[in-house]
Structure 1
């Protein structure tokens, strides 16, 4: 096939590549139309070569029902690398309000790039900002994420602090190791206002969910038909500029991620007001340092 992979978060608040890529390893019910979009960027070489790291920019769209999720503002952004040789994976969380240059559109919040120019422009924007270009951009809605977590049997995460939200989760989440079903994983990743670090802490929670999903997928990857069933499900609802065999290799790369070799970091910065809007001035020095550290082996330094 020669067109975009479009199978189809309202404010998901979570997307890491393992979350998006796991779309190819879950049952049919998890992939209704208009829930997942996968775009291979022009420079992507697929997974035909062995010694390389594949980079995926995973995005949660804030599109409302009926809106085009690939031309709405991105609500969650995670730049994830997978080393197909070692099973190592790195995730760089990018706060959605980071104020960065958008090619052809001046400077704005990074998530506006999806609205202005779709997955391709968002990929270029993040790539220029980090100094590391993604091979794929994956966009999802919240229904995909909830169904995915439900259909793999839920996940377990390590929560460092209790927190709640009066609308999304009045009883809240306790600290420690907790089990999350589809809805709870969604809101665990989405809640921001009650966290002391705001969007920085929310991005870190998204990465905790990433770890939980990676562990569950690796646990189930050896079950007969698990990968194949999910790939066929996605392809039935997909237009692709990547061949089915390439999608299957992506699924295999996700399944081979070793939970003990996942390293994560949320990009830091400072709060600011620009043109009356509250934004984050990201640390460009840290962005380049993290990208350079993980470029060759998908491993981030401890403590960022």
Structure 2
């Protein structure tokens, strides 16, 4: 018998469609595989995408800078400030350690007691010891031997609001030199150096000197050149071959060589009296320019000035760099009228033991001058004796 299978309505052939769940050989796609979830159990966790950093805001958008950039800017500023402070400290230390010092001020029996204010003795030395033959010829200093003083000034800086006073001490002043008798004031320096000169000034003025500063020929010229020259206005021309200058009338900028000749020349109608006025005017203008913003903010002037200063100045062994700013500002005031300038009043003339001509201080007027300085009082008008050039 031929037993044929009974038709069940189901087909196993590939060309016969079938319905799911009724023996179909095709695998049914799951809802997850189809990307659809229809509530069968719990859904899978969502995929976390990595956080994307936002680009920095464009320039000019007004958005505040990020904290990291602010911190970086702060570090840069801190480094700049620290570098600047280190530079200042190194420069200060260099100058402090390299200043020339000499024993100029010392105690002795009968020395005037310290009083109000601060007193400086300012000396311009004509020593050629540190100048070569070529430099002596260039600066027209001559070949004189030994040490003398071309300039002597007394600066009083008060402790109150009274103006500072800059007093010229004529080199030919006839004074008592301790242990040497009577002679010209500049002879004290030649006979006993800075120490005897300082003692002579204290003895004859009754003022206690607190500080001493000296500048030589070469250092003076170098300082002038370092600041780019100093402008002076001459009412009359000056022609002095001995000082190496031939200057026309009018305003002009003097270099180091010309400046040195200008403060040394006696080729004027009043000779030494004009000379000390030139010295005060010029040293005031030089100091004023050296402390100006145009010099301090210009490295091409500031650094030559700094490196020339130790060779230019000699101070007392008890003086320090921090003593100099008040000196500089007081001297600089001479060119602007903030500092009173005068010469010790002259009362007559005399002859030295060697037959040289000397000048004698006016006792009454000079006493008023020095008493005013000792007590921090304004100098009486009758003790200010400089006449116009």
TM-score, normalisation: structure 1? 0.71
Deviation at 1:91, TM superposition (A): 1.2
The residue that corresponds to 2:306 in the other structure is 230
Q: Distance in 2 between matches of 1:211 and 1:147?
A: 16
Question: Contact between 1:99 and 1:110, CA under 8 Å: does it hold in 2?
Answer: yes
Unmatched segments (≥5 aa) in structure 1: 1-24, 44-50
The residue that corresponds to 1:272 in the other structure is 350
The residue that corresponds to 2:199 in the other structure is 124
- Which of 196, 206, 213 is matched with 2:279 structurally? 206
The alignment status of 1:285 with 2:361, answered yes or no, reads: no
* Cα deviation digits, residues 102-145 of structure 1 (max 9, x gap): 11111111111112222121111111211212212222220010
The residue that corresponds to 1:163 in the other structure is 238
Aligned length: 261
The residue that corresponds to 1:7 in the other structure is none
Q: Distance in 2 between matches of 1:301 and 1:64?
A: 39
Larger strand percent? 1
Deviation at 1:88, TM superposition (A): 4.1
Q: Distance in 2 between matches of 1:97 and 1:285?
A: 19
Q: Distance in 2 between matches of 1:186 and 1:263?
A: 23
Deviation at 1:230, TM superposition (A): 3.1
Change (3 A) 1:164 1:112: same
Question: Contact between 2:163 and 2:378, CA under 8 Å: does it hold in 1?
Answer: yes
* Cα deviation digits, residues 176-211 of structure 1 (max 9, x gap): 44322211111110001x211111111111011122
- Which of 323, 340, 354 is matched with 1:263 structurally? 340
- Which of 68, 78, 86 is matched with 2:153 structurally? 78
* Cα deviation digits, residues 85-108 of structure 1 (max 9, x gap): 659432111111111101111111
Q: Give the 3-state SS of the residue equivalent to 2:236 in structure 1.
A: coil
| CA RMSD between the two structures | 3.9
Q: Give the 3-state SS of the residue equivalent to 1:64 in structure 2.
A: coil
Change (3 A) 1:290 1:140: same
The residue that corresponds to 2:178 in the other structure is 103
Change (3 A) 1:217 1:294: farther
Change (3 A) 1:42 1:153: same
Change (3 A) 1:89 1:152: farther
Q: Distance in 2 between matches of 1:141 and 1:171?
A: 22
Change (3 A) 1:112 1:232: closer
Change (3 A) 1:241 1:161: same
Q: Distance in 1 between matches of 2:170 and 2:221?
A: 22
TM-score, normalisation: structure 2? 0.57
